[in-house]
């Protein structure tokens, strides 16, 4: 039974409790708290490192996208330049071919005109001979 003022067992129980509390605190609670604190610090450090790595990865990704865009734009400019140069070369070649064709046609017309003039001269020179031959064939006798 409980009596007032408490007897010596109560004081002994309080001393045992304080001794047990000191022992448990020193060998159980403090090491566990230290482990938990260390784990929390490592977790926080890992999270900070992950955040830093994520930011760096995003920056590198952005640089990559920027370079890719610049490279594509440069390639498109080069393709456009090559395309324009090819069009210009095609235009020059077509103009050159047309000029050559016109020159060749002029030469052929001139040659044809010369040959026609020669044929007319030759025929004009041979008209009396042809006329005589035709008349001889029509008459059936030689002309004198």
d(CA 100, CA 106): 10
Query: Residue 18: what pLDDT?
Result: 95
**pLDDT 10s digits, 84-108:** 999 999 999 999 999 999 999 999 9
37-64, pLDDT tens digit by residue?
999 988 988 899 999 999 999 999 999 9
Q: Distance of CA 77 to CAs 74, 82, 89, Å?
A: 5, 9, 18
User: What is the distance between the alpha carbons of residues 62 and 69, in angstroms, rounded to a whole number?
Assistant: 10
Q: Are 102 and 108 in contact (CB under 8 A)?
A: no
pLDDT class for 68, splitting at 50, 70, 90?
Answer: very high
With bands split at pLDDT 50, 70 and 90, how would you rate the model's confidence at 2? low
What is the value of pTM for the model shown? 0.45
CA nearest neighbour of 11 among 22, 27, 3? 3
Q: Per-residue pLDDT tens for 4-18?
A: 666 788 889 999 999
| Long-range contact set of residues 133-140: C-beta below 8 Å, sequence gap at least 24 | none
Structure tokens given for 57: 């990865």
- The whole-number pLDDT of residue 3 equals 62
Cis before 5? omega within 30: yes
Structure token pair of residue 103: 């020159």
Assigned token pair, 23: 């022992």
């Amino acid at each position: 039974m409980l009596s007032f003022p408490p007897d010596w067992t109560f004081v002994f129980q309080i001393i045992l409790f304080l001794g047990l509390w000191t022992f448990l605190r020193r060998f159980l609670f403090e090491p566990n708290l230290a482990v938990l604190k260390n784990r929390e610090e490592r977790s926080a450090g890992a999270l900070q490192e992950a955040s830093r790595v994520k930011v760096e990865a995003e920056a590198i990704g952005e640089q990559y996208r920027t370079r890719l865009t610049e490279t594509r734009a440069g390639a498109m400019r080069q393709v456009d330049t090559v395309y324009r140069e090819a069009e210009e070369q095609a235009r020059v070649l077509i103009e050159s071919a047309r000029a050559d064709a016109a020159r060749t046609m002029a030469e052929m017309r001139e040659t044809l005109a010369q040959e026609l003039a020669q044929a007319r001269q030759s025929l004009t020179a041979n008209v009396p001979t042809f006329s005589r031959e035709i008349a001889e064939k029509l008459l059936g006798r030689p002309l004198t």
